[in-house]
Amino acid sequence: MTPYQKFIANTKLRRAAVMASIIVVLWLARSIMSTILLTFIFAFLVTRVINLVRRRLHVRAVLVVAPLYLIVLAGMMYALIHYVPVIANQTVHLYNQVQTFYNSKAFANNQAMQWVLNAINSMNLKTQLQAGINTILEYAGSITAMGVTLLLSLILSFFFTVEIDELKAFGARFVTSPFGWYFADLKYFADKFINTFGVVIEAQIFIAIVNTVITTITLIALKMPNVPSLAIMVFLLSMIPVAGAIISVVPLAIIAFTVDGLQGVITIIVMILVIHMLEAYVLNPKFMSTRTKLPVFFTFVVLLVGERLFGTWGLIVGIPIFTFILDILGVKRIPEEAAPKPPAKK
């Protein structure tokens, strides 16, 4: 037996080499990692919808994907046209209100406000505030780039899911090629990761629903405008573990100020803090550890390390990646779901 044949026969060594090659490719493609991850997430979610429909009806993928993407694009365009200008106007209105109050006699004669101002100056928070504003401007400047990434990911995921049956048939040819062992191991890792990601994303969806219900009840109590659209925004942001609740405080606080002034802002901040603590100390450890069978300690550590290494993306994919690694090492197995068979071609 030649060294090459021995290498092929050694399953553990062979798969370790394949995994190393995947890591190298992902490292080289790190500049487009956002596009890769968004495409993967969109394709995964749409594929789940296709499989759900196919459990009851044997239809071609395009009959499910095309209407779904039309609805998504229509929703995005509606939100872009109707709600983005509203938030921008409310931001300008808030800034004008703050400037007017700061330059008014009421502010100069208010002892409490002067004490707060002196305390801020003594703590040298001005520099930190300027740094925070610069960070916000940097994020605003990257909105266009993020929009292009989002659009490209939607296009790629659309073509992937529309031709999912053809892609599976085409991919099967690689397994029967002379280097079929490599693509068979590649498929092995892909199936493992997809199954792991599905388990975790289902838990995160449940957490997002709980967060959205609590937030919506508070918004109704505050008599906030456009509660349905705000609830959708909160749900989407809640898909980001831990950080999503904090990110949502900015637009919610701006709108709350226009409705109920400073008291509304304080209520929103308290609500976000409560939700953040509930998510961080109850929901994430409970449901994430239950679905992935991870100890609470490891759940916290993975979230912290993932955020440190990959930023916001680390919060989203940190636990799936860690669970995937445990599955590959044989430490913990996640049962695979049986996918429905595609419709037979006539």
The answer to whether 32 and 136 have CB atoms below 8 angstroms apart is no
- Give the residue with greater pLDDT, 338 vs 259: 259
Looking at the structure of the chain, the number of domains it has is 1
Residue in this structure with the two tokens 């349905």, named with its chain if needed: 228
18, 226, 294 from 11: Cα distances, Å = 10, 57, 27
Per-residue pLDDT, 54 = 87
pLDDT tens readout for residues 167-220: 888 988 898 888 888 999 998 888 888 877 766 776 777 778 888 888 888 778
Our measurement of the distance from residue 234's CA atom to the centroid of its chain's CA atoms, rounded to an integer in Å, reads 12
346 pLDDT band, cuts 50/70/90, is very low
Are the C-beta atoms of residues 299 and 200 closer than 8 Å to each other? no
The candidate with the shortest Cα–Cα distance to 35, out of 175, 205, 157, is 157
- Asked if 112 contacts 120 with a C-beta cutoff of 8 angstroms, the reply is no
The lowest-confidence range among 5-19, 173-187, 277-291 is 277-291
What integer pLDDT is reported at residue 220 of this predicted model? 83
Q: For residue 260, tell me if it sits in a domain.
A: yes
314 belongs to a structural domain? yes
Length of the chain: 346
* 311 found inside a domain: yes
Q: Is residue 249 part of a domain?
A: yes
CA nearest neighbour of 299 among 313, 311, 315 = 315
pLDDT band of residue 135 (cuts 50, 70, 90) is very low
pLDDT band at 20 (very low <50, low <70, confident <90, very high): very high
Whether 125 shows a pLDDT value over 50: the answer reads: no
Cα 229 to chain centroid distance, Å, stands at: 18
Q: Report the share of the chain in percent with pLDDT over 70.
A: 63
Please, which pLDDT band fits residue 134 given cuts at 50, 70 and 90?
low
Q: Which residues contact 317 (CB under 8 A, 6 or more apart)?
A: 37, 197, 306, 310
Encoded tokens for 39: 């495409």
10 φ/ψ angles, rounded to the nearest 5 degrees = -85, 95
**Domain ranges, residue 286:** 188-336
Other CB atoms within a 10 A radius of the CB of residue 319 amount to 29
Between CA 194 and CA 309 the distance in angstroms is 22
- The Cα-based distances of 120 to 33, 100, 116, 128, 312 in angstroms read 40, 20, 6, 11, 30
Q: Is the CB of residue 187 less than 8 Å from the CB of residue 171?
A: yes
pLDDT mean over 287-315: 69
Least trusted range by pLDDT, from 119-128, 143-152, 269-278, 289-298 = 119-128
Instruction: Tally the C-alpha atoms within 13 A of residue 55's C-alpha that lie toward its C-beta.
Output: 8
- Tokens standing for 95? 């800034």
What is the residue-averaged pLDDT of the chain?
74
Average pLDDT for 36-54: 86
pTM above 0.85, yes or no: no
Q: Cβ distance 39 to 153 under 8 Å?
A: yes
165 lies in some domain: no
Q: How far is CA 327 from CA 194, 197, 335, in A?
A: 12, 12, 10
Over residues 28-54, mean pLDDT: 85
| 87 in any annotated domain | no
- Residues 87-119: tens digit of each pLDDT: 666 556 656 655 665 566 665 666 655 665 665
The answer to whether residue 32 sits within a structural domain is no
Helix segments in 142-292, DSSP class H: 143-162, 164-175, 180-221, 227-238, 243-247, 249-278, 289-292
User: In this structure, is residue 289 part of a structural domain?
Assistant: yes
CB–CB of 279/203 below 8 Å? no
Residue 339 has a pLDDT of 46
Q: What is the pLDDT of residue 221?
A: 81
pLDDT at 261 over 80: no
